[in-house]
Amino acid sequence: MSATAPKRAPMPDDIRARKGGVPLVSLTAYTTPMAELMDGVCDFVLVGDSVGMVLHGLPSTLGVTMEMMILHGQAVARGLHSSMMVVDMPFGSYEQSRELAFANAARIMAETGAGAVKLEGGVEMADTIAFLVVRGIPVMAHIGLTPQSINTLGGYKVQGRGDAGEQLLADAQAVSDAGAFAVVLEKVPQNLADDITARIAIPTIGIGASAGCDGQILVVDDMLGLFTAFKAKFVKRYAHLGDDARAAVSAYADEVRARKFPAVEHVFGDAAPEAKS
């Protein structure tokens, strides 16, 4: 292999094998240019159903469709060569039956080239996860705060406090036993996240959980300061690109109104006359 050959993208078994090792790195992506920035830096890139809120202005993830996930999955795939892509299964695409879940997961993987799909739910989804895995669909699970269930959870609340922690432990064990290769823990108390991480055989990916998880994920527009509708406690802003973009748009508008843009270097003169022989 050439020394300049691109690094092979990890596969689900590679992610599973990182349990207890160097923490896994992940971010969401919805577009080709953003995926290109993450390629080879993130171990896996998630095409999250958060795209509905971040790019489409929806109030929650519930309005996201299969077509939206496939469209954005295809865009992200064009920007990835050295990172694995995982695509969220949207609300309503897998809960009705394991057969429906398989049909939709197979469609996502076939039409996007994803390395795996992600679905929400613990004990109640274990049978579906096992059904998919045995049929060749790698599954990343997601427990704790599951955004597709906010109407039954009562909002974006921390999950697993007090006696509820036992249920989350059971959920984590169930998805691990069912064959998921990793599990996202969202908005879970730190001690509980550490306990789950120590007990189950697959990597835990934290978002608002614990630095002791086997990896971390954030919504990229949150960490870059592009999505400013609200800021969750667990988000660290590594840049403030939204502020920079607003300032740039305002500067552009001011220059257009003052006829300072376009300047001479941005316009074209008459064509040079042809040389005479």
Give domain status of residue 127, yes or no. Answer: yes
What is the torsion angle, in degrees rounded to the nearest 10, for the CA atoms of residue 140, residue 141, residue 147 and residue 149? 140
pLDDT tens digits along 130-185: 999 999 999 999 999 999 998 998 888 899 999 999 999 999 999 999 999 999 99
Read off the CATH number of the domain in which 145 is found.
Answer: 3.20.20.60
Catalytic residue numbers, as ranges: 186
Which pLDDT score is estimated for 274?
64
pLDDT at 2: 47
Residues 23-47 have pLDDT tens digits of 999 999 999 999 999 999 999 999 9
Mark out the alpha helices in 179-270 (DSSP H runs): 190-199, 220-223, 241-257
Confidence at residue 118, expressed as pLDDT on a 0 to 100 scale: 98
Q: Domain residues for 35?
A: 12-240
In a domain, 199, yes or no: yes
Q: What is the reported pLDDT for 172?
A: 98
Question: Mean pLDDT, the chain, as a whole number?
Answer: 94
Q: Which two tokens stand for residue 275?
A: 């040389």
Per-residue pLDDT, 136: 98
- Residue 262 in domain: no
Ranges of the chain whose pLDDT falls below 50: 1-2
Q: Residue 6: its pLDDT value, please?
A: 65
State the DSSP H helix or E strand holding residue 159, giving kind and residue range, or none if neither: none
pTM of this structure: 0.93
* Count of domains forming the chain: 1
Domain assignment present for 184: yes
